[in-house]
Amino acid sequence: MRAFLKNYRQSPRKVRLVANMLRGRNAAEAESQLDFLAKRAGGPLKKLLHSAVHAAGQSGIAKENLFIKEIRVDKGPTYKRMMPAAMGSAHRINKRTSRITLLLGEQAVKSVKSPPKADQPRAEKKKVK
């Protein structure tokens, strides 16, 4: 399941710090980590993750089987502003934005294999000459 956050008003470099921490994690584990993260990008990324998990739930996929397969932070449009400087000149200030793409994957359900029963004979290996 995919979810997008476009034109988020924080620089991609700062958002990637949080995104790299989440990559490959279980959805429930990632959500609990975002609760206690002291970064500004944690809140919007948690909201984005919650949106993707809810959309996957609508498709009939259990939350326990979801993991973050891909999270990509690209640069969005940059707002250009001017700051007055000495002698009537001005310096440009770039206000950067981010475009975040989140892709959830479904893990295969791990089943526990039972050991072979004692009353069944095991297949013998053939000897090769």
Tokens of 48: 């984005």
10 Å CB burial of residue 106 (0-12, 13-18, 19+) is middle
pLDDT at 14 over 70: yes
* Structural domains present in the chain: 2-106 (3.90.470.10)
pLDDT at 4 over 60: yes
pLDDT of residue 19: 96
pTM of the entire structure?
0.79
Q: Summarize pLDDT for 91-129 with one digit per residue, the tens.
A: 999 999 999 999 999 987 665 566 666 666 666 667 776
Q: Summarize pLDDT for 30-82 with one digit per residue, the tens.
A: 999 999 999 999 999 999 999 999 999 998 898 899 999 999 999 999 999 99
